[in-house]
Structure 1
Amino acid sequence: MLLDIQIKNFRCFEDTKIEGFQRVNLIGGKNNSGKTALLEAIYIYHQNHKVFFF
C-alpha cells in the first residue's frame, strides 16, 4: 500500500510531499488544481516500482 509520495518537477508540482494515505482516499479540489496530475504521478510510480495495490 502506498503510504506517502514525494513529487518533484512533474506538471504542476515543483516539490510536493503527501503523507497519510489510507486504504480509501478522496482527492478533491477546484478545476486545474492538479488532481489528475497527482493520479498520473502515482500511476507512473506504480509502473516504475511494480508496487502492488490491494
Structure 2
Amino acid sequence: MRFGIVVTLREMNGENRIDDFIKMCMMRGWIVNRLDVQAQADVYFKAEEEITFE
C-alpha cells in the first residue's frame, strides 16, 4: 500500500523539530523524502506553458 504524509513540527518556543522526527522515522526503517514544493510547482507550470510556432 502506497501512501504519503506531510508533517510540520514546531515546539512552543518556535524551534523546528522536523529533523528529529525524520531521524526517528529513518531509525524505524521508514523511507523519508524531503520535497521542495516550490521547485515542483515551478516545473509543473513550466511544463504546462503553451508553445506557439511561427
* TM-score after normalising by structure 2: 0.35
The structure that has the greater radius of gyration is 2
**More strand per residue:** 1
* TM-score after normalising by structure 1: 0.35
